[in-house]
């Protein structure tokens, strides 16, 4: 298991980055850099990242700001999953910009822009899932929870890719869905605090579990906690 504290990651690793498909600078904070890979993108107001695809499976999680993802209007919380070689976008930031995590189990060398790199795509149907514009629970709502809340956001019977949402009250515990038999799993702290080995992991912290590890026993701090469980496909 790898656990990354959001406050430490953003403090130490924030840097400027210019993407060849964007034309503007964005800010990146690398939470996990190689294997697995998770970074925060702060896309500037009205900036456009062109349509493209990657050669690895990935989730993107919109956590702040607003804009458009292809034809869809998006705001927090929104989840986007695309199988490798599946084109998506453009990502258009709104007037206040848009902030999102890009999450992968393996390192990716960069975007393949469309239509220039169309001939690099592997043929075949590719999965794509969205769960858009969910309202996160605030701290007061988490404090009032007396029973755990669990929701399946999407789940593929073909590949095993899935996303779940779990919320529990202050100082409670609840086992997350098992990562076993799939392609690795991220547990992302939406709000509240997760306690791991007596250390607090606040909002936007993330935990990665390999496919052969036991499920995470989610321990909430004194404010309660809401998490997203992002599960990669079996043949990742």
Name which of 91, 40, 98 is nearest 65 in CA terms. 98
CA dihedral 211, 215, 206, 68 (to 10 degrees): 70
In whole angstroms, what is the distance from residue 192 CA to residue 99 CA?
19
In whole angstroms, what is the distance from residue 231 CA to residue 236 CA?
10
Contact 146, 220 (CB under 8 A): no
pTM (whole model) above 0.85: yes
- Ordered by where they begin, the domains of the chain are 6-131 (2.60.120.10), 139-231 (2.60.120.10)
* pLDDT tens digits for range 216-235: 999 999 999 999 999 999 88
Ranges of beta strands (E only) in the chain are 2-4, 14-18, 25-32, 37-43, 48-49, 52-53, 58-69, 72-74, 78-82, 91-104, 112-113, 128-131, 149-155, 162-168, 173-175, 185-196, 199-201, 206-209, 217-231
pLDDT at residue 215 greater than cutoff 70: yes
Name which of 101, 129, 107 is nearest 205 in CA terms. 101
* pLDDT tens digits for range 152-172: 999 999 999 999 999 999 999
pLDDT at residue 23 greater than cutoff 90: no
Cβ atoms within 10 Å, residue 73: 13
55 forms beta bridges with: none
Helix (H, G, I), strand (E, B) or coil at 22: coil
Structure confidence at residue 26 as a pLDDT band (50, 70, 90): low
In whole angstroms, what is the distance from residue 45 CA to residue 216 CA?
37
What b-and-e string marks burial along 18-29, b requiring 16 or more CB atoms within 10 Å of the CB? ebebbeeebbbb
In whole angstroms, what is the distance from residue 29 CA to residue 63 CA?
14
Backbone CA torsion sign across 33, 158, 216, 218: positive
Q: Which of 38-42, 79-83, 108-112 has the lowest mean pLDDT?
A: 108-112
């Amino acid at each position: 298991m790898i656990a990354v504290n959001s406050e430490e990651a953003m403090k130490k690793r924030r840097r400027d980055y210019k993407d060849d498909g964007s034309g503007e600078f964005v800010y990146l904070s690398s939470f996990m850099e190689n294997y697995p890979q998770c970074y925060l993108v702060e896309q500037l107001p009205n900036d456009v990242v062109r349509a493209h695809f990657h050669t690895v499976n990935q989730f993107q999680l919109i956590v702040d700001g607003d804009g458009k993802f292809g034809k869809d209007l998006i705001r927090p919380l929104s989840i986007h999953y695309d199988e490798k070689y599946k084109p998506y976008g453009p990502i258009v930031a709104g007037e206040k910009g848009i902030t999102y995590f890009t999450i992968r189990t393996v390192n990716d060398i960069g975007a393949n822009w469309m239509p220039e790199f169309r001939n690099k795509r592997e043929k075949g149907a590719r999965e794509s899932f969205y769960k858009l514009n969910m309202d996160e629970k605030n701290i007061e709502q988490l404090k009032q929870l007396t029973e755990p809340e669990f929701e399946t956001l999407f789940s593929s019977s073909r590949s095993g890719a899935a996303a779940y949402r779990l919320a529990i009250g202050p100082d409670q515990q609840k086992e997350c869905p098992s990562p076993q038999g799939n392609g690795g799993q991220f547990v992302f702290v939406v709000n509240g605090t997760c306690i791991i080995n007596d250390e607090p992991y606040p909002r936007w912290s993330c935990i990665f579990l390999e496919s052969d590890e036991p499920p995470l026993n989610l321990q909430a701090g004194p404010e309660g906690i809401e998490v997203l469980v992002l599960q990669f496909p079996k043949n990742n």
